Structure 1
Amino acid sequence: MTVAFDNSGGTAVRSGTVTFGTHVVGALGVDWGTVESTVGLPVPIGAGTRTERTWTVCVDRWRVPLGMHIETRDVSVRWE
């Protein structure tokens, strides 16, 4: 999953987290559950700059029964 971060503020971002919501989806499109994973922001992000970062999002095999698949649909950021 590649996410771009734009810091439009006047000071650098020095810490924070990114949380991914990966959904376990059944064959008929039913969302059976969400697995969250959290990683640190790629800091520092200077004032007025943009940076991109790519992460591999994994889910334990036992959480995804045969015939189901995963989709990372939600991304939230907490800037500190």
Structure 2
Amino acid sequence: MTVTFVNSGGTPVRSGTVTLGTHIVDLLGIDWATVTSTEPLPAPIGPGARVSRTWTVCVDDWRVPLGMHVETRVAGVDWS
């Protein structure tokens, strides 16, 4: 999953974490489970800067039965 972070503030972002939520979804769009993972924010991010980072998100194959798929979204970002 690739996420682009934009620092629209006036001070640099020095550290933080991003939480990714990987949803196990069936054919009807029902969300059966969510697996979260936390990764370090690609810091520092200067004022006005854009930084992209790509993470590989893995889910055990037994969690995704035949006919289901995964969708990963950013669940939250904490920075300092």
65-74 vs 4-13, which moves further: 65-74
Secondary structure of 1:19's partner? strand
Identical aligned pairs, as a percentage? 70
Cα shift at 1:77: 0.8
**Which residue number in structure 2 is paired with residue 38 of structure 1?**
38
Measure the CA separation in 2 of the matches of 1:55 and 1:27: 26
Deviations 1:20-71 (A, max 9, x none): 1110011222110111011000011011211111111111112112221111
Q: Which aligned segments of 4 or more residues in structure 1 are displaced greater than 3 angstroms?
A: none
- How much is the aligned-residue C-alpha RMSD, in angstroms? 1.3
Structure 1 gap ranges (5+): none
Measure the CA separation in 2 of the matches of 1:29 and 1:78: 29
8 Å Cα contact 2:26-2:69 kept in structure 1: yes
TM-score in terms of structure 2 length: 0.88
2:22 aligned with 1:48: no
Task: Report the count of equivalent residues.
Answer: 80
Structure 2 gap ranges (5+): none
Cα shift at 1:17: 0.4
Measure the CA separation in 1 of the matches of 2:70 and 2:57: 10
| 1:1-80 equivalences in 2 (<5 Å) | 1-80=1-80
Output the amino acid matched with 2:36.
E
